[in-house]
Amino acid sequence: MKEWIEKHPDLWEFIKFNILSNVSTIARFILTWVGTAIFINGIKLLTPFKFLIFDYTSEGSHGLGGFLTFLIAEIVAQAVNFFVQKTWVFKSNADFSKSVPKYIVLAVVIVVVNLILPGHVTNFCINKFGMGAGLASTVATIVNTLLAVVVSYPLLKFWIMPKQ
């Protein structure tokens, strides 16, 4: 294995990126489930919510509870991901004071997309496939995660956390 890694360092890095991204993905899933239990099923923050580009007004989006669930899950997942990627995947020695602001830009883009998309995906899953709230939220989280990988890997490698 060690010989293969030495021959294919870029492929190994991408594999590590995907495997270790699961640390933040696990955090995202747990917080999505906890948020669904607390905000949607528990205290029933189901009031339709719309602010700027965020639209959680459709029936399956779970309103303010859905928005808060995904907001909290995404913020925590992005913070976890920064440290995991910088330390273990890219082993970057990039200046922390320069990489953090760049990562925040990337994270904001990812979080904004991940806050817009789940309401639509959740609604689609419930209305078109008859899924329950928990499963529909899980599908929305999977879609968000896949999109984040496609966007974030090249930006992290070449812009935010390049080796100096």
**pLDDT tens digits for range 72-126:** 998 898 899 999 999 999 999 989 899 999 999 998 887 788 778 888 899 999 9
Q: What are the residues whose beta carbons fall under 8 Å from the beta carbon of 71, sequence distance 6 or more? A: 111, 115
Residue 103, both tokens: 């990562």
Q: How far apart are CA 13 and CA 45, in angstroms?
A: 41
Which regions of 25-154 does DSSP assign to beta strands (E)? 49-51, 54-56
Q: How far apart are CA 114 and CA 120, in angstroms?
A: 10
Cα-Cα-Cα-Cα dihedral sign, residues 94, 71, 57, 53? negative
DSSP state of 60: G
Q: How far apart are CA 97 and CA 147, in angstroms?
A: 27
**pLDDT tens digits for range 12-69:** 999 999 999 889 989 999 999 999 999 999 999 999 999 888 889 987 789 999 999 9
Residue 55, both tokens: 């639209």
Residue 36, both tokens: 């669904």
Read off the pTM: 0.73
